[in-house]
Amino acid sequence: MNYISESDIKNIVQKVMQSLSSSNGSSYAPSVPQTSSVSDSDSTVKIIAIGSDHGGFETKQSLVAALQDRGYEVIDCGAKNYNPDDDYPSFAFKVGEELVKLLHQNKLARGILLCRSGAGMNVAANKVNGVRAAETNSIEQAQHARRDNDANIATIAADWLDIDAVLQ
Task: Give the model confidence (pLDDT) of 99-137 as tens digits.
Answer: 999 999 999 999 999 999 999 999 999 999 999 999 987
pLDDT over threshold 60, residue 18: yes
Measured between alpha carbons, how far is 64 from 74 in angstroms, rounded to an integer? 7
Q: How far are the Cα atoms of 7, 51, 86, 117 from residue 35, in angstroms, in the given order? A: 30, 21, 32, 27
pLDDT over threshold 50, residue 167: no
Q: Which range has highest mean pLDDT (40-49, 58-67, 122-131)?
A: 122-131
Average pLDDT (72-94) is: 96
pLDDT of residue 166: 43
**Contacts of 145 by beta carbon, 8 Å cutoff, 6+ apart:** 19, 134, 135, 136, 151, 154
pLDDT over threshold 70, residue 158: yes
Which positions are annotated as active-site residues?
115
